[in-house]
Structure 1
Amino acid sequence: MREIIPARWKNRIQNFFLDLDARIDSTLFSSGKGLRELYERYSTFMDRFYVGRWKRWVFIEPLSEAATIGLGGSILMLALAVPAFRETADDDWLKKSDLAVTFLDRYGNPIGSRGIKHNDSIPLEDFPDNLIKATLATEDRRFYDHFGIDIAGTARALLTNAQAGGVRQGGSSITQQLAKNLFLSNERTIERKVNEAFLAVWLETRLTKNEILKLYLDRAYMGGGTFGVDGAAHFYFNKSARDVNLAEAAMLAGLFKAPTKYAPHINLPAARARANVVLDNLVDAGFMTEGQVFGARRNPAFAVDRRDEASPNYYLDYAFDEMRKLVDTFPKSYTERVFVVRTAIDMNVQRAAEEAIENQLRQFGRDYHATQAATVVADLDGGVRAMVGGRDYGASQFNRAVDAYRQPGSSFKPYVYSTALMSGFTPNSTVVDGPVCLGNWCPQNYGHSYSGTVTLTQAITRSINVVPVKLSIAIGNYPKGQNPKNEWEAAKRGRAKIVEVARRFGIKAPLPDTPSLPIGADEVTVIEHAVAYATFPNKGKSVTPHAVLEVRTGAGDLVWRFDRDGKKPLQAIPASVASDMAGMMSHVVSEGTARRAALDGIPTAGKTGTTNAYRDAWFVGYTGNFTCAVWYGNDDYSPTNRMTGGSLPAQTWHDIMVAAHQGVEVREIPGIGMGTKLPQPTTPATIAANNAPKVLETKPGPPPVLTKRGADILVRVEKLLDEAGKTAGKTSSSDQAAPVSTGALAFPENYAAVGPGDQTAPAPRKN
Structure 2
Amino acid sequence: MASVPPPKRSRLRRFVVASFKVALGALLIMAIAVGVAVAVAVNQLPSYAELIRRDDLGQMVRVRAADGTIIHTQGPSFGEWLPSNDIPQIMRDAIVSVEDRRFYSHIGVDPIGIVRSLIVRLQRGFWAQGGSTLTQQLARNIFLTNDRSFIRKVREAILAMALEWRFSKDQILELYLNRVYFGGGAFGIDAASRRFFGHSAAQLSTGEAAMIAGLVKAPSNYAPTADAAAARGRSRARVVLGEMVEYGAITPAQAAAADPEQVQIARNTTVGTRTRYFIDWVMPQLDTLIDETVQPIDVWTTVHLGMQEVAERAISANAPEGVQGALVSLDRDGAVRAMVGGLDYRTSNYNRATQATRQPGSSFKLFVYLAGLEAGLTPDTPILDGPITIGRWSPRNSNGRYSGPMPMRQALAYSVNTVAVRIAQQVGTQTVADMAQRLGITTRISTFPSMALGASEVRLIDMVRAYATVARGGVGVTPYGIRRVTTADGTLIYQHQDDQSRVLLQPWVAQQMTDMLAGVVSRGTARAADLGRPTAGKTGTTTSSADAWFVGFSSGLTTGVWMGRDNNRPIPGFSGGQAPARTFHDFMVRAVARRPVEPFATDAQAPDWPTGDAENSLLEVVPPDDQGQMVDQDGNPIERQQPEEEDPYGRDAARPEDQVPEEYQEETY
Shorter-normalised TM range: 0.5 to 0.7
Partner of 1:587: 519
Matched, 1:519 2:453: yes
Picking from 92, 97, 116, the partner of 2:75 is 116
Partner of 1:598: 530
Q: Tell me, in whole angstroms, the C-alpha distance in 1 between the residues paired with 2:420 and 2:643.
A: 21
Partner of 1:765: 661
- The question of whether the paired residues in 2 share the 8 Å contact of 1:591 and 1:694 is answered with no
Moved more, 531-540 or 412-421: 531-540
Q: Which amino acid aligns with 2:564?
A: G
Partner of 1:464: 416
Q: Which amino acid aligns with 1:652?
A: T
Partner of 2:280: 317
Q: Tell me, in whole angstroms, the C-alpha distance in 1 between the residues paired with 2:496 and 2:271.
A: 33
- Residues 669 and 409 of structure 1: CA distance in aligned 2, closer, same or farther (over 3 Å): same
Q: Tell me, in whole angstroms, the C-alpha distance in 1 between the residues paired with 2:583 and 2:78.
A: 45
Matched, 1:659 2:590: yes
Matched, 1:100 2:34: no
- The question of whether the paired residues in 2 share the 8 Å contact of 1:341 and 1:548 is answered with yes
- Residues 465 and 336 of structure 1: CA distance in aligned 2, closer, same or farther (over 3 Å): same
Partner of 1:560: 494
- Residues 115 and 437 of structure 1: CA distance in aligned 2, closer, same or farther (over 3 Å): farther
- Residues 317 and 371 of structure 1: CA distance in aligned 2, closer, same or farther (over 3 Å): same
Q: CA deviation at 1:420?
A: 0.6
Matched, 1:692 2:642: yes
Q: CA deviation at 1:342?
A: 1.6
Q: CA deviation at 1:580?
A: 0.5
Structure 1, residues 610-668: CA drift from partner, whole Å, max 9, x if none? 01111110000011320000111111111112210000100110011111112222222
- The question of whether the paired residues in 1 share the 8 Å contact of 2:381 and 2:407 is answered with yes
Picking from 394, 408, 411, the partner of 2:360 is 408
Which sections of structure 1, spanning at least 5 residues, go unmatched?
Answer: 1-94, 121-207, 211-228, 250-303, 476-493, 674-683, 697-752
Q: CA deviation at 1:406?
A: 1.0
SS at match of 1:431: strand
Picking from 367, 371, 374, the partner of 2:323 is 371
- Residues 534 and 469 of structure 1: CA distance in aligned 2, closer, same or farther (over 3 Å): same
Higher helix share: 1
Q: Tell me, in whole angstroms, the C-alpha distance in 1 between the residues paired with 2:358 and 2:285.
A: 22
Partner of 1:534: 468
Q: CA deviation at 1:526?
A: 1.3
Q: CA deviation at 1:101?
A: 2.4
- Residues 758 and 569 of structure 1: CA distance in aligned 2, closer, same or farther (over 3 Å): farther
Matches within 5 A, 1:38-49: none
Matches within 5 A, 1:153-232: none
Q: Tell me, in whole angstroms, the C-alpha distance in 2 between the residues paired with 1:389 and 1:653.
A: 15
Picking from 319, 323, 326, the partner of 2:289 is 326
Q: CA deviation at 1:514?
A: 2.8
Structure 1, residues 500-534: CA drift from partner, whole Å, max 9, x if none? 11122111122233321111111111111112111
Q: Tell me, in whole angstroms, the C-alpha distance in 1 between the residues paired with 2:640 and 2:523.
A: 11
Partner of 1:546: 480
Picking from 624, 640, 649, the partner of 1:755 is 649
Q: CA deviation at 1:231?
A: 5.5
- Residues 687 and 104 of structure 1: CA distance in aligned 2, closer, same or farther (over 3 Å): farther
SS at match of 1:642: coil
- Residues 611 and 118 of structure 1: CA distance in aligned 2, closer, same or farther (over 3 Å): same
Structure 1, residues 395-422: CA drift from partner, whole Å, max 9, x if none? 1111111111111110010111001100
Q: CA deviation at 1:761?
A: 2.6
Q: Tell me, in whole angstroms, the C-alpha distance in 2 between the residues paired with 1:591 and 1:453.
A: 19
Q: Which amino acid aligns with 1:647?
A: Q
Q: Which amino acid aligns with 2:450?
A: S
Q: Tell me, in whole angstroms, the C-alpha distance in 2 between the residues paired with 1:444 and 1:587.
A: 22
Matched, 1:474 2:450: no
Q: CA deviation at 1:439?
A: 2.3
Question: CA-atom RMSD, angstroms?
Answer: 4.0
- Residues 438 and 346 of structure 1: CA distance in aligned 2, closer, same or farther (over 3 Å): same
- The question of whether the paired residues in 1 share the 8 Å contact of 2:277 and 2:349 is answered with yes
Q: CA deviation at 1:322?
A: 2.2
- Residues 337 and 355 of structure 1: CA distance in aligned 2, closer, same or farther (over 3 Å): same
Matched, 1:423 2:375: yes
Structure 1, residues 363-420: CA drift from partner, whole Å, max 9, x if none? xx13xxx421000111011001111111011111111111111111100101110011
Q: CA deviation at 1:553?
A: 1.3
Matches within 5 A, 1:285-434: 311-327=274-290, 330=291, 334-361=292-319, 365-366=320-321, 370-434=322-386
Q: Tell me, in whole angstroms, the C-alpha distance in 2 between the residues paired with 1:584 and 1:651.
A: 20
Q: CA deviation at 1:670?
A: 1.8
Structure 1, residues 30-53: CA drift from partner, whole Å, max 9, x if none? xxxxxxxxxxxxxxxxxxxxxxxx
Moved more, 414-423 or 237-246: 237-246
Q: Which amino acid aligns with 1:654?
A: H
- Residues 396 and 447 of structure 1: CA distance in aligned 2, closer, same or farther (over 3 Å): same
Q: Tell me, in whole angstroms, the C-alpha distance in 1 between the residues paired with 2:520 and 2:343.
A: 28
Q: Which amino acid aligns with 2:446?
A: P
Q: Tell me, in whole angstroms, the C-alpha distance in 2 between the residues paired with 1:661 and 1:462.
A: 26
Structure 1, residues 703-753: CA drift from partner, whole Å, max 9, x if none? xxxxxxxxxxxxxxxxxxxxxxxxxxxxxxxxxxxxxxxxxxxxxxxxxx6
- Residues 103 and 404 of structure 1: CA distance in aligned 2, closer, same or farther (over 3 Å): same
Q: CA deviation at 1:766?
A: 2.5
- Residues 513 and 311 of structure 1: CA distance in aligned 2, closer, same or farther (over 3 Å): same
SS at match of 1:313: helix
Q: CA deviation at 1:765?
A: 3.1
- Residues 237 and 645 of structure 1: CA distance in aligned 2, closer, same or farther (over 3 Å): farther
SS at match of 1:579: helix
SS at match of 1:428: coil
Structure 1, residues 426-479: CA drift from partner, whole Å, max 9, x if none? 11111111222222222121122222111111110110111111111211xxxx
- The question of whether the paired residues in 1 share the 8 Å contact of 2:59 and 2:293 is answered with no
Q: CA deviation at 1:669?
A: 2.0
SS at match of 1:665: coil
- Residues 114 and 514 of structure 1: CA distance in aligned 2, closer, same or farther (over 3 Å): farther
Structure 1, residues 347-369: CA drift from partner, whole Å, max 9, x if none? 111111111111223xxx13xxx
Q: Tell me, in whole angstroms, the C-alpha distance in 1 between the residues paired with 2:397 and 2:536.
A: 22
Partner of 1:243: 219
- Residues 99 and 766 of structure 1: CA distance in aligned 2, closer, same or farther (over 3 Å): farther
Q: Tell me, in whole angstroms, the C-alpha distance in 2 between the residues paired with 1:647 and 1:399.
A: 23
- Residues 569 and 316 of structure 1: CA distance in aligned 2, closer, same or farther (over 3 Å): farther
TM-score (norm 1): 0.50
Picking from 390, 401, 407, the partner of 1:455 is 407
SS at match of 1:646: coil
Partner of 2:503: 571
Q: CA deviation at 1:538?
A: 1.1
Tell me the number of residue pairs that the alignment of Structure 1 and Structure 2 aligns.
Answer: 421
Q: Which amino acid aligns with 1:377?
A: S
Picking from 586, 593, 618, the partner of 2:549 is 618
- The question of whether the paired residues in 2 share the 8 Å contact of 1:360 and 1:648 is answered with yes
Q: Which amino acid aligns with 2:528?
A: R
Structure 1, residues 257-278: CA drift from partner, whole Å, max 9, x if none? xxxxxxxxxxxxxxxxxxxxxx
Partner of 1:16: none
